[in-house]
Amino acid sequence: MSENTIDVTDENFEEKVLKASTPVLVDFWAPWCGPCLAIAPTLDNLASEYEGKVAIAKMNVDENKHIPTQHGVRSIPFMVLFKDGEVKDSIAGAVPKAKLSAMLDKALN
């Protein structure tokens, strides 16, 4: 976990994601997932770049079952962008930074 990302759980998801004042990109991940670990530095970097504009959150799917199931997470890494409490976009896999940046920029416009 980076100092720039926030840790979300089934218990605090509503407060930290759905009620957030900025868009939140939630990374559904697990510590045993190679692609999840590979994309983590990119997400940390985006958290710094978009600080104050977009929050980057991480949810461990092994420790939290309710929210990933509710949002149909079938494979990881799986990133879901929430804005104003609603799903705005999602992307699966360890994708390039430019693709994630484009998704975040779209949410800010």
Distance CA 76, CA 7 (A): 16
Q: How many other CB atoms are there within 10 angstroms of residue 64's CB atom?
A: 17
Active site residue ranges:
33, 36
Q: In this structure, is the dihedral angle defined by the CA atoms of residues 40, 76, 27 and 14, taken in order, positive or negative? A: negative
**In degrees rounded to 5, what are phi and psi of residue 78?**
-140, 120
DSSP string, 1-18: --TTSEE--TTTHIIIII
